[in-house]
A = this chain, B = another copy of it.
Amino acid sequence: MRTPSKSKLQMADIARLAGVSTATVSRALSGSKLVNDETRKRIEELAGSLEYTVNIGAKNLRSGDNRTIAVVIPYQSSARQTLCDPFFLSMIGELATVLTENDYEMLLSRVDENDMPTIGSLYTGGRAAGIIIIGQWHHHDDLNALAARGVPMVVWGSKLEQQVYCTVGSDNELGGLQATSHLIKLGTKKILFLGDVELPEVASRYKGYCKAHKKARLAVNPQLCLSVSFEAGLARQSIANHFSEEVNFDAVFASSDLLAVTAISALNELGIRVPEDIKVVGYDDIDMAQHYRPSLTTIRQPLELAGPEILSVLERQIRGERVVSSLLPTSLEIRESSGFEDGQHAG
């Protein structure tokens, strides 16, 4: 795949045209002070008009610098799902913005969950200065191994015990507490928790759910925890099955907005109204949450804080500093699905 067209312009060409050496061109173009202003100007104009750009690969190789950050999105090969959760998609958009603004390039990789152990090669192979992993899923051990090898990395997820790697995430336990307390205050007693508690982030949300019960001196009924996949397709069936059996709850706390929406659809199909019959709270505050009918009461994860924080932590790690995991605040966005008529947030 060698470039078939006319071979590209290189520094030597500019040097010849400007009547100087490549060293001078290099200096001029990298803003070094050790170049005569006139010479610099001539070179800059030449490079500009000829649309010459330095070869970044060669530059990196020689200088040892690297301003590329790899963003990894694990996926299950079994499901071969295309990336669909809007929250993760938004996260990618946010990261793209933040990295660009800070003069980094973003390498986006979807990797099969079975290949997780290999992603360190993005760093060891010199491809990227550091790695951002979106979602920790079931990869706790892989991630620990990676970190132990000294790969600069940040994981979007929950802080766990015995964790070598570093996470940035919203305070899932707080979020779970906020959501559940809100429902309890509204007078509901039997709150169904929806989500795959095998996932660390979801487990934390469930922990918050339990905490809220304790605070209100309510017992937690383990039967009210329905473990469904994060993936909407599979979840739908599972939810529908459960609901049709016996509706022994008066509220739902779903661990993602996608799940909340799926639940509401399933309920509606059974002739159950939200929020009149059953109140629902979601999680994430994706764009759809405001637009959906009923609009979704949900726990907002501060996406606009996440990008800068992730980068900041990663940068410190690249510099070799010791870093600690970071927790972002969540907030309750009250909308219609928990009983409010007004779509404005009031939380």
Interfacial residues, chain A to chain B (CB-CB below 8 A) = 1-6, 8-9, 51-58, 60-61, 64-68, 71, 73, 82-84, 86, 89-90, 92-94, 96-97, 100, 105-111, 120-121, 124-127, 129, 149-150, 261, 265, 287-288, 291-294, 303-304, 318-320
Are B124's CB and A96's CB within 8 A? Answer: no
With contacts A89-B93, A92-B89 taken as known, whether A3 is within 8 angstroms of B82 at the C-beta atoms is no
Contact residues in B for A287 (Cβ distance below 8 Å): 84, 86, 288
Are B8's CB and A124's CB within 8 A? Answer: yes
Q: This chain: how many copies in the complex? A: 2
Are A82's CB and B51's CB within 8 A? Answer: no
With contacts A57-B57, A96-B110, A107-B107 taken as known, whether A65 is within 8 angstroms of B126 at the C-beta atoms is no
The distance in angstroms between the C-alpha atoms of A268 and B234, with both chains bound, is 33
With contacts A124-B51, A265-B291, A288-B288 taken as known, whether A94 is within 8 angstroms of B109 at the C-beta atoms is no
Among all A-B residue pairs, the 4 with the closest Cβ atoms: A83-B93, A293-B293, A53-B125, A4-B320
21 A-B residue pairs with Cβ-Cβ distance under 8 Å, sorted by A, are: A1-B64, A1-B66, A1-B67, A3-B64, A4-B319, A5-B150, A8-B124, A58-B126, A68-B107, A82-B304, A83-B97, A84-B90, A92-B93, A96-B108, A96-B109, A100-B109, A105-B107, A106-B108, A288-B288, A291-B292, A292-B293
By beta carbon, the residue of chain B nearest A94 is: B82
How near does chain B come to A294, taking the closest CB pair, in angstroms? 8
By beta carbon, the residue of chain B nearest A71 is: B108
Contact residues in B for A5 (Cβ distance below 8 Å): 150, 320
How near does chain B come to A15, taking the closest CB pair, in angstroms? 17
